Amino acid sequence: TTADIGLIGLAVMGSNLALNIAEKGYTIAVNNRSPARIDEFVTMAKEQGLAGKVIPKADLAEFVQAVSRPRSIIIMVKAGAPVDAMIEQLLPHLEQGDAIIECGNSLFTDTQRRFDYLKPKGIGYLGAGVSGGEEGARHGPSIMVGGSKEQWHNAEDVLTAIAAKFNGESCCAYLGEGGAGHFVKTIHNGIEYGDMQMIAEVYGVMRDGLGMAPQACADVFKEWNRGPLNSYLIEITGHVLAAIDEPTGKPLVELILDKAGQKGTGVWSAIAAQQMGVPATAIEGAVAARSISSRKDERIAAEKIYGKRSAGKADVTLADLEQALLAGKIVSYAQGFAVIAKASDENGWKLPLSTIAKIWRAGCIIRSRFLDQMAAAYAKGDNANLLIVPDFVTLMKENHGALRKVVAAGAVGEFPLICLSAALSYFDSYRQAQGTANLIQGQRDFFGAHGFEIEGRGKDLHGEWPSTLGN
Ligand code: NDP
């Protein structure tokens, strides 16, 4: 028998994806650098009654031979150099028309480079972003595919079968050429950073401004999960806040050190946005907040200098916080989707914004009811900034007042709201017909003769600035 598909890299993600594929009835050949992992995987497959669908091959040549042509071979190894090493090892064994499907968290420019490298060799290259962690990989992730369209069709059935479903629709789609899939996955993660940070900021107001204990906060998140904020992240936030540390009997969240880790996709999102000149201040704020969080020693020292902030009573209600979170979320998604739209234009990817919102509705970390509304709004046609899409205009009109109130309370009460305040400032900048860059242009012309424009009189005009300044 030959396998429908092959998979290399049987660590957490690869083994769960492979089990998922086998469970959907496909025969899968598997390989891993260290053979011990192959044995462990076979044991796992046996325990789950799936061994009959698995062809384990420790030898790479035999592994490739076991996959039916044209071959689709998933690689799920550590991102970075191991992916390039794996491609080089595979190449001598592949034949024209075969394809590599790389499913790790790769930098989209690396994916683009690998796609360009393999194209003239007649080997297809698909870069697929997979979200949903271990559980998602096993039972249904969101899969964002980019790369060789022709070879996508060879793997389409398998990938759409293993992905999460939302109202019966698969959360897997081909999005565009080259690095498009990994680019979209990167921005997914950037948006995820923003969602998480805004939730953490609201938790901060509850804890320090409203004096709420973790269990009381947990109850609020549980309640919010039944409303417009309904989402995986709001749901798990409730569980995290409710958890009790067994040995001490204390709320676990109060024992966890306030230093956040990051693996790079938030930074990549912010860099991509900056490089294309698209403001993504909510994502940038979220990345900055994680960086500040990691500098615990500096924060302790600074608190000694400035004093502990007064544990004031924030002049906000829980309803204000819920609405502020919704408004902040709309701004953050507006920014993330604007970054995707610009990247699509620059790279000729023709990224379908509606489809992207659709395949994020289930399986991935940012899955939510909200994304269903977004998918519906974008399905109506243009790829405009979400802030001017009619349904979301209504929502913003209803909720930006609360965002304003919460950000103001944060400023007065000394609660840092990096992400929520960035979202509010972006909204206020975006919606003002008359800004203040006229002054910037004056300054630039003063010191650098960069020129400015006056309507009706033309561009590249200069001011008669004083040539010497008094002291
Ligand atoms: P790891 O990132 O820990 O990678 C381990 C796997 O890579 C092992 O199979 C290992 O083989 C293999 N490997 C490492 N270096 C090489 C090499 N030079 N040549 C061949 N194989 C090599 O595994 P994960 O399952 O955690 O993640 C896989 C990918 O999925 C990563 O890109 C990760 O970022 C991404 N991802 C992970 C998620 C998660 O929740 N963990 C979520 C979403 C994406 P060996 O056994 O021989 O050491």
Residue 301 lies in a domain: yes
In this structure, the answer to whether residues 168 and 237 fall within a common structural domain is no
Which residue's C-alpha comes closest to atom 3 of ligand 1? 78
Tell me the pLDDT band of 471, cut-offs 50, 70 and 90.
Answer: low
Mark which of 155, 178, 201 sits at the end of a domain.
Answer: 178
Mark which of 178, 205, 226 sits at the end of a domain.
Answer: 178
Residue 281 lies in a domain: yes
Q: What is the mean pLDDT of residues 268-272?
A: 97
Instruction: Find the 128 Cα to ligand 1 centroid distance in Å.
Output: 14
User: For a pLDDT cut of 70, what percent of the chain falls above it?
Assistant: 99
Express each pLDDT in 195-205 by its tens digit.
999 999 999 99
pLDDT at 205: 96
Residue 440 has, within 13 A of its CA and on its CB side, a CA count of 3
Residue 198 lies in a domain: yes
Tell me the pLDDT band of 1, cut-offs 50, 70 and 90.
Answer: confident
State the Cα–Cα distance between residues 4 and 18, nearest whole angstrom.
Answer: 12
Considering all CA atoms of the chain, what is the largest pairwise distance in Å, rounded to the nearest integer?
Answer: 88
Atom number in ligand 1 closest to CA 133: 40
DSSP per position, 327-363? HHHHHHHHHHHHHHHHHHHHHT----HHHHHHHTSSS
Residue 26 lies in a domain: yes
In this structure, the answer to whether residues 357 and 446 fall within a common structural domain is no
Tell me the pLDDT band of 321, cut-offs 50, 70 and 90.
Answer: very high
Annotated active-site residue in 102, 192, 284, 322: 192
In this structure, of 220-234, 235-249, 296-310, the range with the lowest mean pLDDT score is 296-310
Q: How many CB atoms lie within 10 A of CB 23?
A: 17
In this structure, the answer to whether residues 424 and 326 fall within a common structural domain is yes
In this structure, of 307-321, 352-366, 396-410, 432-446, the range with the lowest mean pLDDT score is 307-321
How many folded domains does the chain comprise?
3
Considering only CA atoms, which of 432, 429, 430, 454 is closest in space to residue 441? 454
Residue 192 designated active-site: yes
In this structure, the answer to whether residues 171 and 314 fall within a common structural domain is no
Atom number in ligand 1 closest to CA 134: 40
Mark which of 151, 178, 205 sits at the end of a domain.
Answer: 178
Atom number in ligand 1 closest to CA 36: 46
Q: What is the mean pLDDT of residues 222-244?
A: 98
Model confidence at 59: pLDDT above 90? yes
* Burial class of 433 by CB neighbour count within 10 A (0 to 12, 13 to 18, 19+): exposed
Entry pTM: 0.95
Which residue's C-alpha comes closest to atom 6 of ligand 1? 77
pLDDT at 151: 97
Residue 262 corresponds to which amino acid?
Answer: Q
Tokens 């994502």 belong to residue = 283
Residue 360 lies in a domain: yes
In this structure, the answer to whether residues 450 and 382 fall within a common structural domain is no
Tokens 């008094």 belong to residue = 470
DSSP letter at 66 equals: T
Range of the structural domain that residue 424 is part of: 186-430
State the Cα–Cα distance between residues 370 and 402, nearest whole angstrom.
Answer: 18
> Tokens standing for 196?
């998480």
CATH of residue 21: 3.40.50.720
In this structure, the answer to whether residues 270 and 130 fall within a common structural domain is no
Residue 88 lies in a domain: yes
**Residue to mutate (ligand 1; options 7, 8, 10, 13; most atoms within 8 A of CB):** 13
In this structure, the answer to whether residues 211 and 341 fall within a common structural domain is yes
State the Cα–Cα distance between residues 184 and 342, nearest whole angstrom.
Answer: 12
In this structure, the answer to whether residues 229 and 150 fall within a common structural domain is no
Average pLDDT, the chain: 96
Model confidence at 352: pLDDT above 80? yes
In this structure, the answer to whether residues 424 and 451 fall within a common structural domain is no
User: For a pLDDT cut of 90, what percent of the chain falls above it?
Assistant: 95
280: helix, strand or coil: coil
Tell me the pLDDT band of 313, cut-offs 50, 70 and 90.
Answer: confident
Any idea what the Cα angle at residue 174 is, between residues 171 and 176, rounded to 5°? 140
CATH of residue 401: 1.10.1040.10
Express each pLDDT in 115-145 by its tens digit.
999 999 999 999 999 999 999 999 999 999 9
**Measured CA distances, 5 to 18, 73, 82, 91, 104 (Å):** 10, 6, 21, 16, 17
State the Cα–Cα distance between residues 230 and 270, nearest whole angstrom.
Answer: 26
Model confidence at 410: pLDDT above 70? yes
In this structure, the answer to whether residues 255 and 316 fall within a common structural domain is yes
Residue 364 corresponds to which amino acid?
Answer: C
- CB within 6 Å of ligand 1 — which residues? 9-14, 32-34, 37, 76-79, 82, 85-86, 104-105, 130, 133-134
In this structure, the answer to whether residues 418 and 279 fall within a common structural domain is yes
In this structure, the answer to whether residues 285 and 367 fall within a common structural domain is yes
Tokens 């200069």 belong to residue = 462
Model confidence at 215: pLDDT above 70? yes
ipTM: 0.97
Instruction: Find the 348 Cα to ligand 1 centroid distance in Å.
Output: 31
pLDDT at 467: 84
Q: What is the mean pLDDT of residues 420-435?
A: 98
Residue 52 lies in a domain: yes
Considering only CA atoms, which of 87, 65, 64, 72 is closest in space to residue 153? 72
Residue 185 designated active-site: yes
pLDDT at 252: 98
Residue 435 lies in a domain: no
Annotated active-site residue in 53, 57, 185, 329: 185
